[in-house]
Structure 1
């Protein structure tokens, strides 16, 4: 995976994060596949892995049928978006420009 592909994956996750909370297995699958793809890449590092796991965890809550209802909607959305930004920074660090 190169920088362009890694950032394209991040953009796809960001697009999913714009969706409303609730049952959406496609979004969870996308985040899980992204985590797996990153983990097999030679540029993978612990920091990137931690940020990816955080995003997957928040997607699992946000896109579940009921788990998201236990949280304040705006607070959970804010945490998820902040973790996505941290993931972008981790990607940019792990995949420097050519």
Structure 2
């Protein structure tokens, strides 16, 4: 059995509303439709949480991105210099 299986009591008000919505959209299996709705709501909630976390650390992320960019540019310049030296060594006649 799946560790993430849940049975929820929606209560009469939400249960009736769920049945009405499921019937409107042509879903015969109301529980399956409820699980689909809940999964979608969880995905949206998780995306919102992730955006809030990103906002909390946006300044730190920007600083790290700049450091990463500068480090990569320095590494790229070093590789270009190594290639230039290597190519000039090939031209030595002895």
TM-score of the pair, normalised by structure 2: 0.35
Q: Which has the higher contact order (CA 8 A, sep 6+)?
A: 1
| Superposition TM-score, scaled by structure 1 size | 0.33
> Which one has a larger percent helix, Structure 1 or Structure 2?
2
